[in-house]
Amino acid sequence: MQHEYKVAQFTGQLTAGMFGTKGVPLESQFQTFLDQFVKQGWEFYRTETIHAYVKAGCLAALLGRKDEVLYQDMVVFRKSKG
């Protein structure tokens, strides 16, 4: 069976408080995120972590910034072609 895929970035948000974190629980945020794609006919397939090497630019390097690796969570959806 042939599939087409869609990749979307997910970043949950919480607020740091004095005694822990506050905000909508991450599982609820993720569920809402998934539901919006399911309503469009997409099926949740899997999550992936993408790594990006970020080289400091000239000015940033002069100011002491180092090259770094960023990690971003991506969610993969799929649906049948045809």
pLDDT at 29: 95
* pLDDT score for 20: 78
The per-residue DSSP string of 42-70 comes to -EEEEEEEEEEEE---HHHHHTTPPPEEE
Gyration radius of the chain over CA positions: 18
Q: pLDDT (tens digit, 0 to 9) for every residue of the chain, 82 residues total?
A: 899 999 999 999 988 887 878 888 899 999 999 999 999 999 999 999 999 999 988 888 888 889 999 999 999 999 998 7
Q: Which residues, in sequence order, are bridge partners of residue 74? A: 9, 48
Q: What share of the chain is helix, strand, coil (3-state, %, to 5)?
A: 20, 45, 30
Report the pLDDT value the prediction gives residue 34, as an integer from 0 to 100: 97
Q: What is the pLDDT of residue 68?
A: 92
